[in-house]
Amino acid sequence: MRGFVAALVLCLVSTFAFAFSFPPLTGRVVDQANVMPAASRSAVETKLKDLEDKSGIQLVVATVGSLQGSDIETFANELFRFWKLGQAQKNNGVLLLVAPSEHKVRIEVGYGLEGTLTDALSSVIISSAIVPRFKAGDISGGIERGVDGIISVLSGDSAEWQKKIDVRQDDRSGETDGPIPFIFFLLVIFVMWYMNRHGRGRGRGTMFIPSGGSSRDSGWSGGDPGGSFSDSGFSGGGGSSGGGGASGSW
């Protein structure tokens, strides 16, 4: 058992040691993988802007050419923090990340929205709205449906998605969880604490370190010392994420 735990800790340390090269935050849609037609991208950008104008929530869609050897959970969380999505005092950012080459997708949720866009709701949006379209080869269509699902939940209309969660829970009512997930969780916390104690930073080319909101002003301000600002004038507002959300594959 000790050997297993030691190996798992080593694996976790290696996982968090990735150095990434992130694309700049050029707008509400960053299609690095070039999988979204212009019309689809424009339609999504309009929806995201409307959401932000009405609620202050900063929802960004990103496609990447590669996860650079990482799992999508680590990559999405690092990218979210690098871009600093959401307002600093509210941490109300959301990232929909798609990695077509690895057939992976993730909804990463800021601290302040975890009670609204829960892990369970994020998971059902991915499995019900996004993945079916992806499997059919319609990446842009899956993104559009995913965005619609996320916006509906953030706008307070989550009843239909909750019904799907309830059905899933009924199907799994006889299942029981073993001790391994809890042990894994404790090991993750230990690794994060260890890296934080030894002064590891965040940002480009650094390890992931959990933290609360930034001390920056809560508005969508201009230049970002973290490097997410671009010539487009669009940037994150200083928000952060603790890893809430869900992932999927197709």
82, 206 contact by CB (below 8 A): no
pLDDT in tens, 192-227: 655 555 544 444 443 333 333 333 333 343 334 344
Residue 109: is its pLDDT beyond 50? yes
Lowest mean pLDDT among 108-112, 164-168, 184-188: 184-188
pLDDT in tens, 6-65: 455 445 544 444 589 999 999 999 999 999 999 999 999 999 999 999 999 999 999 999
pLDDT in tens, 52-62: 999 999 999 99
**Rounded to whole angstroms, what are the CA distances from 178 to 166, 168, 175, 184?**
22, 19, 10, 11
* pLDDT score of 196: 53
**Which SS3 state, helix, strand or coil, does residue 60 take?**
strand
Among 39-43, 182-186, 228-232, which range has the highest average pLDDT? Answer: 39-43
62, 83 contact by CB (below 8 A): no
The residues, ordered by sequence, that sit 6+ positions from 60 with a Cβ below 8 Å of its Cβ are 25, 28, 29, 30, 48, 83, 85, 93, 94, 95, 96
* pLDDT score of 207: 36
Q: Which CATH class is domain 2-9+20-169+179-200?
A: alpha beta
* pLDDT score of 156: 86
Domain ranges of the chain: 2-9+20-169+179-200
* Residue 227 zone, left/alpha/beta (φ > 0; ψ -120 to 50; rest): left
The residues, ordered by sequence, that sit 6+ positions from 136 with a Cβ below 8 Å of its Cβ are none
Rounded to two decimals, the pTM is 0.72
Cα 115 from chain centroid (whole Å): 15
